[in-house]
Amino acid sequence: MAEELTVNGVPIGGATGGGQGPARRVELPSGKMATVRKGCGRDLINANRVVPNGDDGSLIFALIAELARVEGQPIVYEDVLAMELADVLALETEVVDENFGFPPPRRSRD
């Protein structure tokens, strides 16, 4: 069995995914099943590539597409835009809770 190459615990060299730990399962309001994994820096870079004109408001939609699967299938940014609002809000909550569940560090006063 080949050893997996990692940097700071993140798989590299053609590895997919990147989030640590198992994906959380969530039943969406539409009744569909989704999984949401914890993200890594690569996911944020990929999401930024998708967002038109650096629109921060759309970044969370792109992150949802990077980190979630619906009914076992990967989704893309346009899929999130076309989803029922209740499903989008449920996925947004999961992505934010999984990745930003703590307050940001305080800024230095220097």
The verdict on residue 1 lying in a domain is no
The verdict on residue 53 lying in a domain is yes
Sequence-distant (6+) residues with CB within 8 A of 74 are none
pLDDT tens readout for residues 53-100: 777 779 999 999 999 999 999 999 999 999 999 999 999 999 988 777
The CATH number given to whatever domain includes residue 60 is 3.30.2220.20
Task: Provide the mean pLDDT of the chain.
Answer: 81
Q: CA-CA distance, 94 to 64, in Å (whole number)?
A: 9
Classify the C-alpha dihedral 67-16-20-59 as positive or negative.
Answer: negative
Residue 5 · residue 12 · CB < 8 Å: yes
- Specify the residue for token string 């899929």: 79
Res. 1 pLDDT band, cuts 50 70 90: very low
Global confidence as pTM: 0.72
Number of domains in the chain: 1
List the domain range (segments joined by +) for residue 89. Answer: 18-99
The verdict on residue 4 lying in a domain is no
The verdict on residue 94 lying in a domain is yes
